[in-house]
Amino acid sequence: MKILLMCEGMSYLSGSPVYYLTLGRELAKEHEVYLFSRWGKNVRQIAIEYNIKPVDNLFPLNTLTERFDLALISQKPFFMPNANRVINIVHSEYDCETPTDRLDHYIAIRPEIKEHLIEEHNIPAEKIKVIYNGVDLEKFKPIQKTERDYIKVVIPATRDILRQKLFDYYAERASKDFRIYIYGSNFGAIINDSEYISLNEPTFHIEEHIGDADIVAGILLGRVNLEARAMNVMSRIHNPEHPEEYQEFYPDWKEFVERHDIKNVAKQILNDIYKHN
């Protein structure tokens, strides 16, 4: 098939871009895959290496006239693609993921997002299917940890105000015995200087750091939790408003693979939605 992926925010590495790179790589094994976005240089190069064909979102915005069998879209694109079927994949309850109106099919990557779409956007439940976030188990697998005498906490997250309270929570606890390593672009969060807090740019090879962690932390249920479980590392899912409230994430392996292996995610999207609806 000829498949179009559309995600506005591919300028830097964060949840949605990594989702589409991971999904696109899997789909490209058997299909012709295009990814339309405003690109960051490094992210665009990763797409090319994954056999995904990048399409640049340049002015005028609505000149992508090619016909596709399937379009998977997120972050409410400026125009509707020319495709036999368009499916909106919604990654969060935040405004940047406001769903596109009047489609026949929506994917929510968590049950809570499905409830949000029903209650806040009046989308009929029968139009929404929960297909969980996917992780590449060939990339994220257990590794040998570094020997050390402290607890290593890894937070792969954009440094933005949505996560300010999470960063405050860990900054208050940073010490010689409890060290914090943050990987993500800086978008306005304030993190006080400390010899026990390490601020780092985002990296596509985050597996090297997640696999070496004792604890991985994030808000809600995100990619970082899946990547940590794939590498046999316990992670925490924090309430973004009250980060002292959190759940530990380490589900049963069989259930985890069934839900989150990117191979199974891609099959569900194609078989459960594209072919059977």
Q: With contact defined as beta carbons under 8 Å apart, do 39 and 56 qualify?
A: yes
Whether residue 232 contacts residue 169, with contact meaning beta carbons closer than 8 Å, is answered with no
What pLDDT score does 226 carry?
95
Annotate 207-217 with b (16+ C-beta within 10 A) or e (fewer). Answer: bebbbbbebbb
Which of these, 156, 176, 160, lies nearest to 218 by C-alpha position? 156
Task: Count other Cβ atoms within 10 Å, centred on residue 256.
Answer: 18
- Phi, psi (rounded to 5 degrees) for 59: -75, 140
Q: How many CB atoms lie within 10 A of CB 206?
A: 22
CA dist list (Å): 224 to 40, 173, 219, 229, 263: 21, 21, 9, 9, 18
| CATH 3.90.1150.10, domain 151-256, yes or no | no
Domain boundaries, the chain: 2-134+261-275, 151-256
Residue with tokens 């240089």: 41
pLDDT of residue 15: 67
pLDDT of residue 275: 64
The pairing of beta strand 197-200 with beta strand 32-39: unpaired
For 81-117, b/e burial (b = at least 16 CB within 10 A) is bebeebbbbbbbbeeebebbeeeebbbbbbeebbebb
pLDDT on residue 198: 97
The CATH fold assigned to 2-134+261-275 is: Rossmann fold (3.40.50)
Question: In order along the chain (277 residues), what is the average pLDDT of each group of 10 residues?
Answer: 83 73 95 84 84 75 76 83 91 78 90 94 94 94 96 95 96 98 92 94 91 96 93 97 96 96 95 66
Q: Give the whole-angstrom CA distance, residue 246 versus residue 35.
A: 35
Q: Which of 57, 54, 55 is nearest to 77 (CA)?
A: 57
Identical fold between 2-134+261-275 and 151-256: yes
